[in-house]
Structure formats: structure tokens, C-alpha cells
């Protein structure tokens, strides 16, 4: 559990905390400042740079990852809040042998990316959506991806990819 590491507080905010998280199936124990954002922890401490930072203001969804199986914006969560929890990032989506997750495959086949910056967040949001709603309508896909901005594709192929993934088993 989250424990201050020894000593007395010198000034408020100087405490370092210890957290243990499971990320893509591996257990990590790390020391973090309470103000460390989960996205910075994942990118900088764990070196998992697939999770992008777009807006840094909770709006764009580029930083989406799964916390206990649900898509969340990791720029708006403290690493200490994730202590003891299960995290999946885009790096954890493919199988161990490199086989892509059906959602990743559907993005590839439907040309659902151009520059690719929004893509990790889109894949994480879309796979979370299909867990909650395995057979969505086009409108439900659009609403379900409301929190993810793409500046390139115009969204059309992203929506097609998610609908295709729903029929190809990404909703399992």
C-alpha cells in the first residue's frame, strides 16, 4: 500500500510515496511524488511512451489507458491514486507473440489513422467502449469516442474500424 518513506515531513509536499501497480501484467514498485501524474509515471518512470500527451488539460484523450479495465485520461489521475490497481497501456494490447489486438488490427485494416498521434488513446477508448457496449450503433461509437480528438482523419475511418472490430471479436 501507499506508504510515506520514513522520516518526518520537513514541509508539506515533500513526502515521497511508494506505490505498487500492475502494468501490462508486470508488477512495478516505485517511489513517486504525490503530484506525479499517472501519464508521466507511465511514460517517464516505466518508459512506456506509447501513451501520448496531447492537450494536458483532460480534453483530447491521447493519454487514455485502462485502469482496472476501463478507459481513463491518465493526465487527470495521480500515480498515487493508481496504487494497487491494474493498468493496461497500448503496449499491453498485443498478445505476447506480437499478434495485434483485434482493435489494433481493425484500425490497420480500415486505415483509421494518419499521423497516428491520437491512435493509442483511440484504441484504448474504443476497446473499453466495446467491453461496455459489445454491439454499438454508429452513433453510439461516435458518442463513445467523444473524449478523443483526432486532427487528421475526420473520424470516419475510426468509426468504421470500431464497428468492424465489434463484429471481429474485439468486444470479448
Ligand X SMILES: Cc1cc2nc3c(=O)[nH]c(=O)nc-3n(C[C@H](O)[C@H](O)[C@H](O)COP(=O)(O)OP(=O)(O)OC[C@H]3O[C@@H](n4cnc5c(N)ncnc54)[C@H](O)[C@@H]3O)c2cc1C
Interface contacts to ligand FES, rule CB under 6 A:
53-56, 58-63, 73, 75, 113-118, 150-153
Q: Which is nearer to another protein, 1 or 26 (CB)?
A: 1
Find the shortest distance in angstroms from Cβ 141 to ligand X: 19
Residue 71 interacting entry, from ligand X, ligand FES, another protein, none, C-beta within 5 to 8 Å by type: another protein
Find the shortest distance in angstroms from Cβ 3 to ligand FES: 28
Residue 3 in the binding site for ligand X (CB under 6 A): no
User: Residues 18-47 vs another protein: string with x where CB under 8 A?
Assistant: ---------------xxxxx--x-------
Give one word for 43, left, alpha or beta, with left for phi > 0 and alpha for psi -120 to 50.
Answer: alpha
| 75 close to 53: Cβ distance less than 8 angstroms | yes
| 65 close to 74: Cβ distance less than 8 angstroms | yes
| 55 close to 61: Cβ distance less than 8 angstroms | no
Of 40, 65, 57, whose CA–CA distance to 127 is shortest? 65
Positions 31 through 70 that interact with ligand X (CB under 6 A): 58-59
Q: How far apart are CA 162 and CA 152, in angstroms?
A: 17
Residue 81 in the binding site for ligand X (CB under 6 A): no
Residue 49 in the binding site for another protein (CB under 8 A): no
Find the shortest distance in angstroms from Cβ 26 to ligand FES: 23
In angstroms, the first-to-last Cα distance of the chain is 31
Residue 90 interacting entry, from another protein, ligand FES, ligand X, none, C-beta within 5 to 8 Å by type: none
Q: How many CB atoms lie within 10 A of CB 77?
A: 20
Amino acid at each position: 500500500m501507499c506508504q510515506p518513506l520514513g522520516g518526518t515531513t520537513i514541509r508539506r509536499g515533500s513526502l515521497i510515496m511508494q506505490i505498487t501497480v500492475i502494468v501490462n501484467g508486470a508488477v512495478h514498485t516505485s517511489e513517486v511524488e504525490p503530484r506525479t501524474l499517472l501519464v508521466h509515471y507511465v511514460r517517464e518512470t516505466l518508459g512506456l511512451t506509447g501513451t501520448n500527451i496531447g492537450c494536458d488539460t483532460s480534453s483530447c484523450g491521447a493519454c487514455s489507458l485502462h485502469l482496472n479495465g476501463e478507459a481513463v485520461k491518465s493526465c487527470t489521475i495521480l500515480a498515487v491514486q493508481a496504487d494497487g490497481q491494474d493498468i493496461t497501456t497500448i503496449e499491453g494490447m498485443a498478445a505476447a507473440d506480437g499478434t495485434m489486438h483485434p482493435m489494433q488490427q481493425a484500425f490497420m485494416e480500415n486505415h483509421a489513422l494518419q499521423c497516428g498521434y491520437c491512435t493509442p488513446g483511440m484504441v484504448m477508448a474504443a476497446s473499453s467502449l466495446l467491453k461496455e457496449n459489445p454491439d454499438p450503433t454508429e452513433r453510439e461509437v461516435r458518442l463513445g469516442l467523444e473524449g478523443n480528438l483526432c486532427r487528421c482523419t475526420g473520424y470516419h475511418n475510426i468509426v468504421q474500424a470500431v464497428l468492424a472490430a465489434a463484429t471481429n471479436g474485439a468486444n470479448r
